[in-house]
Amino acid sequence: MAKAKAGDTVKVHYTGKLNDGTVFDTSSGHEPLEFEIGKSKSTLIPAFEQTVVGMKPGESRTVNIASNEAYGPHQEEMVASVEKNKFPDTINPYVGLELEVCQQDGRVFPAKITNVSEQSVTLDANHPLAGKDLVFDIELVEIT
Question: Domain segments of the chain: what residues?
Answer: 9-72+130-143, 76-124
pTM of the model: 0.83
**Is 101 a residue whose pLDDT tops 90?**
no
What gap in Å lies between CA 136 and CA 139, rounded to an integer? 10
CB 110 within 8 A of CB 98: yes
76-124: which CATH architecture?
Answer: Beta Barrel (2.40)
CB 8 within 8 A of CB 56: no
Topology, domain 9-72+130-143? Chitinase A; domain 3 (3.10.50)
Give the pLDDT of residue 69: 95
What are 118-139's pLDDT values in tens digits? 999 999 999 999 999 999 999 9
Summary mean pLDDT of the chain? 94
Q: Which of 24, 21, 14, 45 lies closest to 129 in space, CA to CA?
A: 24
